[in-house]
Structure 1
Amino acid sequence: MIDNNPVLEALANRRAIRKYTDGPISREDLTAILEAGRWAPSGLNNQPWRFLVIHKDDPRAAKVAQCTKYSKIAQAAKVLICVFLERECIYNEMKDHQAVGACLQNMMLAAHSLDIGTVWLGEILNQEAQVLEVLNLPLEKYELQAVVAAGHPAQKGGSSRKELSEIMLETY
């Protein structure tokens, strides 16, 4: 990666954070994270994502946490950002799912830049109907894409990556 480039450094240094302090996330920081998601690219600029923020003190937070085998992570988070695809907005299913992935990445990078840790909870998709029921949202209108658990980090994240040469199909 190129040194002294804040975007490339953020890409290389952002990690999944699964433990959080008791420190609150400010409304200003939360808004910045959601705005970053809003500015993700989407095909035809259809912006098919929809967000629902659930704060730790909201009774629904514990119920959503019970919908995943990673309930301890979800329970520890200061906020859960539920990200949905609005079914009416879909024009190309694959492109719209890719757009939501870009939206999620934008939000996690924005959180990282604000010293807020996040983890993308994807396993919860196995309980999509249960999550939508807890949130009183119609399954025919919304498709759950992920829940992002967020809070101030109480741990450092770690990761490794394959060498670029291992994932290239041809040399460039």
Structure 2
Amino acid sequence: MDHRDNPVLQAIRERRSIRKFTADPVDKETLKTILEAGQWAPSGKNNQPWRFLVVTRDDPRMEKLAQCTEYSPIVRASAACICVFLDKATMYSEMKDHQGAGACIQNMLLAIHTLGLGAVWLGQIVNDQAAPLAALGLSEAELELEAVIVLGHPNQKGGSKRKPLSELMLEDF
């Protein structure tokens, strides 16, 4: 059975991290569609512990957020950032909730790609939880920042390589 034409599998293979964007904005309806893709990710006990904050280019918090990462030029060039948090009061299993957040983020990255946009998952920004949460006016006691998805209209073609599957297998099947 040939699965190469399956649109979901094709999107998984073709999605790349994009770090350069045009000046074009991303409309609110498109951002809502992306958030809804994250909303439908699986989570342990269906607790859906993720919370989102969208910061657009015209929001003064964008510059404050940019100052919290070594990738500030990428943040400043983007049309929007989707900040993904875990709600500490909703969490029930740290490992499972982090896994769910990862699935949520991947759903949004795939949605962004299939909508013709580009994005990159910023992970480095979470190393200092206090700074981005303070920049956004949010409580460190209530939320844990999982990632910032930086997105916009792509101004570059992404590229990536993968190890052969045989190198990733613990044993053949």
Same structural fold, with TM-score higher than 0.5 when normalized by the shorter chain: yes
* 1:14-43, Cα deviation, whole Å (9 max, x unpaired): 000000011111112111100000000000
Q: Confirm or deny: 8 A CA contact 1:119 1:150 kept in the other structure.
A: yes
1:28 aligns with 2:29: yes
Residues in 1 aligned to 2:28 and 2:6: alpha-carbon distance in whole angstroms:
28
Matches of 1:169 and 1:112, distance apart in 2: 31
Alpha-carbon distance in structure 2 between the residues aligned to 1:111 and 1:134: 25
C-alpha deviations, 1:94-135, integer Å up to 9, x for none? Answer: 000000000000000001000110100000012210111111
Structure 2 residue aligned with 1:93: 94
Which residue is 1:169 aligned to? 170
SS in 1 for 2:85: strand
- Name the TM-score, length of structure 1 as normaliser: 0.98
Runs of 4+ in 1 over 3 A off after TM superposition: none
Identity among equivalent positions (%) equals 58
For 1:1-172, list aligned pairs within 5 A. 2-172=3-173
Q: Could you say what secondary structure the match of 2:33 adopts?
A: helix
SS for the counterpart of 2:8 is helix
Separation (CA, whole Å) in 1 of partners of 2:29 and 2:45: 29
1:39 counterpart letter in structure 2? W
Q: CA deviation at 1:136?
A: 1.1
Counterpart amino acid of residue 127 in structure 2:
N
Could you tell me which amino acid in structure 2 is paired with residue 67 of structure 1?
C
CA distance in 1, matches of 2:134, 2:63: 14
Whether the 8 Å CA contact 1:80–1:149 is kept in 2: the answer is: yes
Quick one: which amino acid aligns to residue 152 of structure 1?
A: H
Q: Measure the CA separation in 1 of the matches of 2:148 and 2:43.
A: 19
**Cα root mean square deviation, aligned:** 0.9
- TM-score of the superposed pair, with normalisation by structure 2: 0.98
Once residues 4 and 67 of structure 2 are traced to their aligned partners in structure 1, the CA distance between those partners, rounded to angstroms, is 42
* TM-superposed deviation, 1:2: 2.6
CA distance in 2: counterparts of 1:95 and 1:123, whole angstroms:
21
User: Structure 2 stretches of 5 or more lacking a match?
Assistant: none
Report if aligned partners of 1:68, 1:127 keep a CA contact under 8 Å in 2: no
Equivalent pairs counted in the alignment come to 172
2:88 is matched by which residue type in structure 1?
R
Q: Distance in 2 between matches of 1:22 and 1:115?
A: 15
